[in-house]
Chains A and B, each alone.
Chain A
Amino acid sequence: MSIDIKTAAHVAKLARIRVEDDALPALAQEFSAILGFIEQLNEVDVDGVEPMTSVTPMRLKRREDVVTDGNIQKQVLANAPDAREGFFAVPKVVE
């Protein structure tokens, strides 16, 4: 399957990665090559096969739904590029 420039631009948008217009043709070509490689999967007869959900057959552990930590605001914010007054700061979201 070959990916056109419009689809490449759409995927970049969904992935929230800015791709300049002049880089789109090369990107579309790379996608096409990778998807071409993946197309081999169509040769496999998968009728009646359940998609794998867990590679080791085990039930995930459960725990009580309770608060296990907290009061670590300083640590939570320590690596933020922009933290103010105890919050993460971001550009305006709502006009």
Chain B
Amino acid sequence: MSDLTKLTIAGARDALRKGDTTATELTQACLDAIEGAGALNAFVHKTPEIALERAKAADARIKAGDAPAMCGIPVGIKDLFCTRGVDSQAASRILQGFKPEYESTVSQKLVDAGSIMLGKLNMDEFAMGSSNETSVYGNAVNPWKSGDTDLTPGGSSGGSAAAVAADLCLAATGTDTGGSIRQPAAFTGIVGLKPTYGRCSRWGIVAFASSLDQAGPMTKTVRDAAIMMQAMAGHDPKDSTSADLAVPDFEAMLTGDIRGKTIGIPREYRMDGMPAEIESLWAEGRKMLEDAGAKIVDISLPHTKYALPAYYVIAPAEASSNLARYDGVRYGHRAKLAQGDGITDMYEKTRAEGFGPEVQRRVMVGTYVLSAGFYDAYYNRARKVRALIKKDFDDAFASGVDAILTPATPSAAFPLGQTHDDPVQMYLNDVFTVTVNLAGLPGISVPTGLDSQGLPLGLQLIGRPWEEGDLLNTAHVLESAAGFVAKPGKWW
């Protein structure tokens, strides 16, 4: 078979079961594609030996007729996931050389399902960023180009997005704290699903903001997202916030029928200065769902405007606590000390050398908002606003709305290397996605069109808690109606 790496998960599963190809062939094709794609800087730690060994095991399993859907599927794993014996450094210098003695629950579930890890994927340092430019490995590059300009693949899961869009792997894991799956998916013309908070175990995933972080699949199609989600989800006794709920058969829920469903269009997402292309993309999406038999209603989510400022209190606060563990004692980098340096010097020098500027900034902002005298004014106030943001969604769902349609991002992918004097400007990238994390809801980004420069644009659907299956079905209808098939021209 030619173009093996272009297969979807569903297509590869069927081809493997029919014997048209083998997991070993498929894996080798991906490894070759990765070798030829150094310019994208998507894979930062390659694991060909592990991949070929697991491919052999998958082939045996398929032959024996004992193969779940993900068996034999080559995937990339975001560097945020701890993988046993394989570098896992959250794209940070402070975790240089760290090889975990354990495997994250989600990546272990993917191993158990027979999928094949090709390597670790680039990302923003500690998942803090929207352009993949805070990575210690240097930025990943979007396979889509605007003329000769190199574009960001988005962030923080930029390597995952670039790798899937460029057909280096069939799918990848991502994590999403404020939009880190959905924004890069939109920037690269792929599908990205952030499940309900608690659907996937966070155990073994390097923590950024524990009340917001969720892992999810980044795939070429909605069907693939359903298949991969199935393998990643489920209760884990090692994560007390993972939900002890049955995981439904997500793929079986893709009926393509959304007649009678109610889709809400939130008026607060119509931002001042929103590009006309985003506005018309959104209107087209609305029409597609309406034509498929859904009822469209205008809704209000009045506290939307306060989501970003609340996020930029809560996320740094949690990050400052989570990142306190990087002290140069138990793992990773330790600064070289001068004669007479004490333990505080060791902490301070290690953290100054090990953390990049954006991570340092957020750790210190978090430290400030949690410090004596400011805790109530900032942190507690932000948690109250968060409760109000969640209530906005609760009210919309209580009024009969099944899903909410919004743009995924305020623009298409932007050029790499733009100077960011004002960190707040970069934070605005998350304006449409961050509400979903604050409210703990499932959200999915679906590619639905191209802008005037030929760059992909995505729409976001937001679902009720725990109803990823229903959400995927609506996304599947939107995907089919939009008929997005464009791929980036190969230049790398």
Q: Which residues of A contact B (CB under 8 A)?
A: 3, 7, 11-12, 14-19, 27, 30-31, 33-35, 37-44, 46, 49-56, 58, 60-61, 63, 72, 75-76, 78-82, 88, 90-93
Q: Chain B residues near A53 (CB, 8 Å)?
A: 383
Which candidate, B126-134, B362-370, B446-454, is the interface stretch facing chain A? B362-370
Q: Chain A residues near B365 (CB, 8 Å)?
A: 31, 34-35
Digitize B249-283: 1 where CB-to-A-CB distance is under 8 Å, 0 elsewhere: 00000000000000000000000000000000000
- Cross-chain contact of B244 among A44, A61, A81 (Cβ < 8 A): A61
Interface flag for B139 (CB, 8 Å): no
A60 lies within 8 A of B347 (CB):
no
Interface flag for B223 (CB, 8 Å): no
List residues of B (170-229) whose CB comes within 8 Å of A's CBs. 196-198, 211
Interface centre among B101, B369, B438 (most CB of A within 10 A): B101
Interface flag for B104 (CB, 8 Å): no
Residue of B nearest to A38 (CB): B309
- Cross-chain contact of B330 among A11, A30, A55, A79 (Cβ < 8 A): A79
Q: Chain B residues near A72 (CB, 8 Å)?
A: 101
Q: Chain A residues near B101 (CB, 8 Å)?
A: 72, 75-76, 78-79
A11 lies within 8 A of B364 (CB):
yes
Please judge, given known A-B contacts A19-B352, A50-B387, whether A91 and B423 are in contact too, CB under 8 Å: no
Digitize B316-355: 1 where CB-to-A-CB distance is under 8 Å, 0 elsewhere: 0000100010011111111001000111111111011001
In the assembly, what is the distance between CA of A41 and CA of B374, in Å?
14
A92 lies within 8 A of B368 (CB):
no
B423 lies within 8 A of A30 (CB):
yes
Residue of B nearest to A53 (CB): B383
How many Å from the CB of B336 to the closest CB on chain A? 10
How many Å from the CB of B303 to the closest CB on chain A? 7
A55 lies within 8 A of B211 (CB):
yes
Residue of B nearest to A48 (CB): B384
A56 lies within 8 A of B360 (CB):
no
In the assembly, what is the distance between CA of A90 and CA of B241, in Å?
34
B384 lies within 8 A of A49 (CB):
yes
How many Å from the CB of A45 to the closest CB on chain B? 9
How many Å from the CB of B439 to the closest CB on chain A? 7
Interface flag for B361 (CB, 8 Å): yes
Q: Chain B residues near A93 (CB, 8 Å)?
A: 342-343
A81 lies within 8 A of B440 (CB):
no
- Cross-chain contact of B341 among A12, A16, A60, A91 (Cβ < 8 A): A91
How many Å from the CB of A90 to the closest CB on chain B? 6
A18 lies within 8 A of B351 (CB):
yes
In the assembly, what is the distance between CA of A40 and CA of B347, in Å?
34
- Cross-chain contact of A90 among B329, B388, B439 (Cβ < 8 A): B329
- Cross-chain contact of A82 among B240, B334, B363, B427 (Cβ < 8 A): B334
Please judge, given known A-B contacts A38-B309, A63-B237, whether A16 and B351 are in contact too, CB under 8 Å: yes
How many Å from the CB of B350 to the closest CB on chain A? 9
A61 lies within 8 A of B240 (CB):
yes
12 additional A-B pairs beyond A55-B438, A91-B345, beta carbons within 8 Å, are A12-B364, A15-B351, A16-B344, A19-B352, A33-B423, A34-B312, A37-B424, A41-B385, A51-B380, A75-B101, A79-B100, A81-B331
A38 lies within 8 A of B312 (CB):
yes
Please judge, given known A-B contacts A40-B305, A49-B388, whether A91 and B337 are in contact too, CB under 8 Å: yes
